[in-house]
Structure 1
Amino acid sequence: ALEQLRAANPDVEFTEAFNFVIPVDEEFHGSMELLYEGALLAVLVVWLFLRNGRATFISAVALPLSAIPAFIGMHYMGFSLNVVTLLALSLVIGILVDDAIVEVENIVRHQHMGKSPYQAAMEAADEIGLAVIATTFTLVAVFLPTAFMSGVAGRFFKQFGWTAALAVLASLVVARMLTPMMAAYLLKDAGHGEPPPGRLLRGYLRAAAWCLHHRLATVGGATAFFIGSLLLIPLLPTGFMPADDNPQSQVFVELPPGASLAQTRAAAETVRQLVAAVPYVRSVYTTIGGGTAGSDPLALSSGGGEVRKATLTLQLAQRSDRPVRKQVIEQDIRRVLQAVPGVRTKVGLGATGEKYILVLSGDDPQTLGSAARAVERDLRTIPGLGSVASSAALIRPEIAVRPDFAAAADLGVTTAAIGETLRIATLGDYDESLPKLNLAQRQVPMVVKLAADGRRDLTILERLAVPSVKAGVGPVRLGQVARLEFSSGPAVIDRYDRSRNVNFEIELSGLPLGDVAQAVQRLPSIRGLPFGVRQINIGDAEMMGELFASFGLAMLTGVLCIYIVLVLLFKDFLQPVTILAALPLSFGGGFVGLLVADKSFSMPSMIGLIMLMGVATKNSILLVEYAIVARREHGMSRAEALLDACRKRARPIVMTTLAMGAGMLPIAFGLGAADSSFRSPMAIAVIGGLVTSTLLSLLVIPVAYTYMDDFKVWGKRLWPLQGEMQ
């Protein structure tokens, strides 16, 4: 379309001032690249462990065959291939191959026992079937409750939760039906004799045996780790969503009420010259007044149609062409704009993660105004913040009309007539009342009003004729029935729940939203608000509170669903508790990862913690399920069964963990052209939690199993009748 316009208007030069489609396009292609990279790394991990090209191929086939049914489900649910759904697929890419890895590894192990590929596939699939089904439905029980969260976070999580659940269910079907069949006909005989355990496996088995013989010390260490994890939470910065690093920004310039268009234009040009000199600013596009063309289509315009406001839309250098984030450039812009007198400036698009909105509400304007001034003064003492803009500070000049009611009554002049006369003289009449100039094709309305100089001269306004409703009295001069004087008043009166309010728009300048909110609550003016004035949370602060509440409910629902699924599959009420014991061990690593990487505890990191819940229970299921089978079918003692489970299930647990971690490495390091601001905290939380949950689960879960087994035996002794009935 743009090329057609250029061809049709060769004398007009078209220059692209801004393009909000580019970040979306980069996000899409970046998500696809991360999907491919994660899949390749996950397959590479499988090959490094199995060193078998055919087994690796069988595991790799699970990736596309799990994603394609997920696309079909997304189509029927009305989901598009957007950033959210691609994010879900890129995060679960390591999980999709997990079931196939467990199946193939177990089949290869059975081959080493001297079985043919067909026999190994049949027996291994039967042996591992319950564990694979349990792990898959556990992951579904974790992801699906997030799709029903409320608020803004719920709208985001809906497509994420359903997409992840569909992909995981598809991977179960592939692992249970296709993987054994392919293994039976594609794998070759692996020879007789199971290879001896390596040095790492021998060291792990010694550590597991030590933990089983020192149960109190193991449980004490795990408890200390969990308590330490909880103590890390206050150290983490909190927020709703991290600020983006897209190559667009804006500068809003606001002059005092009553400023003219010429003054605004001069101030905007001064700001433009200063901003254009800042490093990594490529272009500046200025609009004055309404200026909707220069505003973010995803945010409300700050132009407001007033000539005292201007918007400068900035194109920054691409992420690959600059060594700093967008927030650093915006800080440089704020510093250079401090030299511009008489204007109020705001830097940034004002998107999520960039500003904090504080609202004071009350019914008494005087009390509210004095409280707002005290709060604004204290807000400027918080270090690191950008501009602090208060709606109470906007006082505009106005002409106050004070009627002389006695004289007006004698002359038959109403206050409505005075108001109508002044409105028509200063602004013009309503469109439907205007006279029309008839042309051949259309009518042109004609507005008649005083010149700008006349509107500022009180003597001219006092000579305006006001109609009288009294018989025999003609038009009356305005000065006879009213006194005019220059005055001032608020530029805007905002209301919230029918009460007056004052809005403070605070630029975060890279500071975490939660830290700023806590600093605001400690301000003396906030702690001592006068009677009748209250604080209201809106914007990101309100959504952050909703997010934490919804997230807690989703986690509790997920844990309950996991327990119900495990009870139904294992037909036992106690051993599912053993499996759930891995959950507290998974969060500590995620918190440490966020702390080391200096990432905030926000929506993306919470998504990572939800994923950790599923992965931690998956590892526990593989251990506990084999221990139960070994005791029931092979007649092993409890200690022998647990050590045998550790020996035979350690490799698939480590393989699936490394496959998932490898799939998330590109996301954690922010590789590719897409903005990693949202994805990176999520992947860092998952990778950190994977390390601790895997290491601790392999050592602590066998000990937890023994305690649950002792409790079960103790219960049977205490209630022998119930034990016999069971």
Structure 2
Amino acid sequence: MIGLPVILIGTFIFMPFFGITINMISLLALSLCVGLVIDDAIVVRENIFRHLERGDSARVASSKGTWEVGLSVLAMTLTIVAVFVPVTFAEGTAGIVFRSFGLIVAIAILLSLVEAFTFAPMMSANLFPNIKTKAKKHKGPHHDVVPDLKFVSPDAELSERDAGLIEEAHEDPGRLGLMYGNLLAWSLKSLTNRMIVVAVAVSILLLSGWVASGLKFTFFPEQDNHEFVLGFELPPGTALEETDRLARQAEAILMADPNFESVISTVGFSGNPERAEFSVKLTKADPTVEVQNRLRPQMAFLPRVSFTIPTMQSTAAGITGRDLQVSLQTTRPLHELAPVIQAVHATMDEVEGLVDIDSNYNEGKPELQFIADPARIGNIGITNDDIATSVRALINGSRATVLRQNGVDTDIVVRLRPNDRDSVQDLSAITIPTRSGSVPLSSLGTVSLDSSPTTIRRYDRLNQILIGANLEETNLTDASNALKPKIEALGIPADIVVSYQGTLQQTSEGFDSLILAMVLSVIFVYMVLASQFGSFTQPIVIMMAMPFSFIGAFLALRIAGIDLDITGMIGLIMLLGVVVKNSILLVDFTNRLRRVGIERHHALRLAGAIRLRPILMTSAALIAGAIPTAMGLHIFGGGEGSEFRRGLAWVIIGGITTSTLLTLLVVPTVYSLLDSVVSRFMGLFKGNQPQDAVAAPAPKPVVPPKTEEPLAEEEPAAQPEASAPVGADA
């Protein structure tokens, strides 16, 4: 833990170089990194501690312990980095979140690698430099994991790193290690037992698919900030006074509610005097959704009323702020879409859970239109601009002069009297000065009362109408799944493009980015492991832990009652790199034991028993680091925004738990099966070789010093057990 501040402070130092600020996403990444970045140091210090127990000095134990697990720690770190490399290239809103989170985790994990290789062994060697080391003595009798340890042909050239493995093979791993070793002995005893383990693993994978089918999906998690926006809109052309009258009635109802802490009213917007909004801040007595449901019947007198909870995507009460948005796009004029809009509106009314259904289509704001007669105005010798200037001066007025009284200037504006410009007939009788004298406006063209849209929304060069709705006691995915078949059954013409925007579109893009990032992450992890282990098949064994993390993640979300959102998606990607750490420790140590001549199954049992302690320690550290976030524990704050972080934490806790428990059996089993297949496949080629190509006899196995139990007789090198570790042909 002493290196944790070094890693976190170093991460803060590097964040500005990548344009990352301190925000909710970056702090969430750092909080989960607390349990992740100490994994490397745990593996290194645990191995150093094992050497101290064997009687080595602090300096020797630090040097040997770090050297022996160097390859494993490097592979563990690079897999995490490889997982988050493709995440940084995601697009859209999901890409912004993924990039920030992925870069912070990558920076922190690379710094943890440096700390594990430098600071950790240095502190282990110099923290207690004068301590006298003694070999650890067990209180009870000594127990070997494999009493009848069997040796086959060792490698001709052993590295100095593997020279002391025979002594380690006869260490007592403790009661828990012995129990795990016995369990591995049963699973590896026969092909039947191994197939039973595989069958159970496949069944669990199928179960994870069933668990995932019951999950609900959303983009951002629902957060209760105890505030909402209430809005309404009158028909176009309504006077501001009428909007204000209704707004005051609604404001009186809101202010009378004791659960409302503050109300901010906005009556009239630029170019839209018929619209009003109320920003309401609640006390923390009742949930926001319950208050909205209680308030909705009281506000039924307001036209086109809507409720919106401010989120990261939108804070407005308009159509673009609704949870579910249906888009209609076409090249037709907007008024031709009216029947289709009504049909879609009626269809959405039939879907349970959709409320505040409305569209941004209005018949238009009333206006007086003048269409000039080109021949007439051409004969008189005036232009459209001349007519517009005269009409504007008579209706709006023009400044004739300035009256100065007591040092105060007052504009004198001249225009028609109100009773001369109130009706269409009055405006038609306006006289327009021309070269031939003044003529009435009606003689220059046609004056009519009509309407036109105040705004025209276009998307991808097409006219667009949005029909939006809010959700009430339902999930966005469930509502959209119920709505889509109903809209398809309407038989909307082919020249009208129907699509879904808003949160649903962002959710779809986010999950598409997740699938792409997961595929690329698996490929990158395979490439890293293949380069580290020099094999094409061993990465497959190591990556068997990946699918077993999903069952725990999905099950944890189901138990906690949380939807799978964008933070949970980040957790799933993160699990791809985290869960292979345990497999790396097992496979790497198994390969080392086999290189010194220990038989395959015995090597697997020894590696599992000896590496069980660091595996459980690293998994426990990750789970412990995510528990405060999952439980919403807080000391210095009020806990606001904890809903945003819970999904990711529960995914990590569930995924790490199941993957750790399952891979401790599945990975050794798959290693054994795949190694047998590779050995037999390679044996086919060896059988076709000429007799003079037969390899020389293998050297005698290394005999461990001071062992009390006789070793089994050496088996012929031609047997399958004498083959190199699985995948060594690469």
Give the drift of 1:218. Answer: 1.4
Query: In the alignment, what sits opposite 1:287?
Result: 266
| Equivalent residue, structure 2, for 1:688 | 654
Task: Quote the offset at 1:590 in angstroms.
Answer: 0.8
TM-score (norm 2): 0.81
Equivalent-residue separation in structure 2 for 1:253 and 1:150 (angstroms): 35
**1: distance between equivalents of 2:470 and 2:416?**
41
Equivalent position of 1:119 in the other structure: 60
Query: Is 2:604 the counterpart of 1:637?
Result: no
Match in the other structure for 1:668: 630
Cα contact 2:230–2:307 (8 A) shared by 1: yes
Aligned residue for 1:92, secondary structure, equals: helix
- The structural deviation recorded for 1:586 is 0.9
CA distance in 2, matches of 1:671, 1:713: 53
The 5 A counterparts of 1:115-264 are 115-186=56-127, 189=133, 191-193=135-137, 200-213=176-189, 214-264=193-243
Contact 2:400-2:414 at 8 Å conserved across structures? no
Equivalent position of 2:342 in the other structure: 373
Question: Equivalents in 2 of 1:205, 1:279: separation in Å?
Answer: 65
In 2, Cα distance between the equivalents of 1:575 and 1:346?
56
User: 2-side partners of 1:190 and 1:333: how far apart?
Assistant: 74
Note if contact 1:371-1:530 (Cα within 8 Å) is conserved in structure 2.
no
Relative to structure 1, is the Cα distance of residues 525 and 335 closer, same or farther in structure 2, using a 3 angstrom cutoff? farther
Match of 1:582 among 534, 545, 559: 545
Letter in 2 for 1:676: S
Determine whether 1:361 maps to 2:322: no
Distance 1:689 1:171 in 2: 22
Instruction: Provide Cα deviations, 1:558-600, integer angstroms capped at 9, x if missing partner.
Output: 1122111111211111111111111111111111112222222
Cα distance in 1 between the residues matched to 2:673 and 2:490? 50
Question: Structure 1 residue 484: deviation in Å?
Answer: 4.0
The structure 2 residue matched to 1:716, chosen from 682, 694, 708, is 682
Q: Deviations over 1:56-87 (max 9, x none)?
A: xxxx1121111122122113334332322222
Rounded Cα–Cα distance in structure 1 between residues aligned with 2:411 and 2:657: 74
SS at match of 1:704: helix
One-letter code aligned to 1:693: S
**Map of 1:41-440 to 2, 5 A cutoff?**
60-186=1-127, 189=133, 191-193=135-137, 200-213=176-189, 214-278=193-257, 280-290=259-269, 304-317=270-283, 321-322=284-285, 324-338=286-300, 340-349=301-310, 351-352=312-313, 355-365=323-333, 366-401=335-370, 421-426=390-395, 437=402
Name the CA distance, whole Å, in 1 between partners of 2:502 and 2:413.
41
Are the equivalent residues in 2 in contact too, given 1:278–1:333 (CA < 8 A)? no
**Helix, strand or coil at the partner of 2:327:** strand
Alpha-carbon shift at residue 410 of structure 1 (Å): 6.7
Match of 1:617 in 2: 580
Q: Does 1:557 align with 2:525?
A: no
Q: Does 1:501 align with 2:464?
A: yes
The amino acid of 1:192's aligned partner reads K
**Paired residue for 2:159?**
none
Change over 3 Å in CA distance of 1:423–1:371 after alignment to 2:
farther
Amino acid paired to 2:119: L
Q: Is the 8 A contact 2:304 2:358 kept in 1?
A: no
TM-aligned CA deviation for residue 264 of structure 1: 1.1
1:260-315 deviations in Å (ceiling 9; x for gaps): 1211111111222223344532000112223xxxxxxxxxxxxx442211221222
Bigger shift: 540-549 or 657-666?
540-549
Count of residue pairs brought into register by the alignment:
641
Distance 2:395 2:265 in 1: 29
Deviation at 1:115, TM superposition (A): 3.1
Q: What CA deviation, in whole Å up to 9, does each residue of 1:658-693 have, x standing for no partner?
A: 111111111111222231121111111111111111
Taking structure 1 as reference, are residues 381 and 445 closer, same or farther at Cα in structure 2, changes over 3 Å only?
Answer: farther
Distance 1:61 1:424, change over 3 A: farther
Deviations 1:98-152 (A, max 9, x none): 1111122222223333333333322222221111111011111112321222222
- 398-407 or 679-688, larger mean C-alpha shift: 398-407
Return the offset for 1:511: 3.8
C-alpha contact 2:7 2:108 (8 A) present in aligned 1: yes
Q: What is the DSSP-based 3-state SS (H/G/I as helix, E as strand, rest coil) of the residue aligned with 2:642? A: coil
**Percent of matched pairs sharing the same residue:** 33
Residue identity opposite 1:342 in structure 2: P
Specify the SS of the correspondent of 2:3. Answer: helix
Aligned counterparts of 1:110 and 1:358: Cα–Cα separation in 2: 66
Mean CA deviation greater in 651-660 or 485-494: 485-494
- Measure, in 1, the Cα distance between the counterparts of 2:277 and 2:207: 48
Residue in 1 aligned with 2:509?
546
Structure 2 portions without partners, runs of 5+: 140-171, 315-321, 696-728
Q: Which residue matches 2:150?
A: none
- Aligned equivalent of 2:717: none
Contact 2:48–2:66 (CA<8 Å) still a contact in 1? yes
Q: Distance in 2 between matches of 1:427 and 1:151?
A: 47
Once the two structures are superposed, what CA deviation does each residue of 1:314-369 show, in whole Å capped at 9, x if it has no partner? 2222xxx43x543333333334322x243533433364386222210112235422
The separation in 2 between residues aligned to 1:509 and 1:464, in whole angstroms, is 55
AA of the residue aligned to 1:553? L
Alignment CA distance shift 1:165-1:360 (3 Å) = same
Report the Cα distance in structure 2 between the residues aligned to 1:133 and 1:230, rounded to whole angstroms.
Answer: 33
How far 1:165 sits from its partner (Å)? 0.7
Question: Hey, which of these two has a bigger chunk of helix by percent?
Answer: 1
Cα distance in 2, alignment partners of residues 157 and 646 from structure 1: 35
2:439 to 471, 476, 492: 476
CA pair 622-328 structure 1, distance change in 2 beyond 3 A: farther
Partner Cα separation in structure 2 for residue 492 and residue 133 of structure 1: 59
- CA separation of 1:341/1:690 partners in 2, compared to 1, >3 Å: closer, same or farther? same
Task: Describe the SS at the equivalent of 2:498.
Answer: strand
Q: Is the 8 A contact 2:357 2:467 kept in 1?
A: yes
What secondary structure sits across from 1:352 in the alignment?
coil
Describe the shift of the 1:513–1:69 C-alpha distance in structure 2 as closer, same or farther (beyond 3 A): same
Letter in 1 for 2:607: A
Q: 1:639 to 1:71 in 2, by over 3 A?
A: same
* 1:315 alignment partner, SS class: strand
Q: Where does structure 1 lack aligned partners over 5 or more consecutive residues? A: 1-59, 291-303
Query: 1:241-267 CA distances to partner (integer Å, 9 max, x unpaired)?
Result: 123322432222222211112111111
In 2, Cα distance between the equivalents of 1:413 and 1:176?
88
Aligned equivalent of 1:53: none
Alignment check: 8 A CA contact 1:582 1:616 kept: yes
Q: Does the 8 A contact of 1:619 with 1:694 survive in 2? A: yes
Deviation at 1:240, TM superposition (A): 1.8
Give the whole-Å Cα distance in 1 for the aligned partners of 2:197 and 2:694: 29
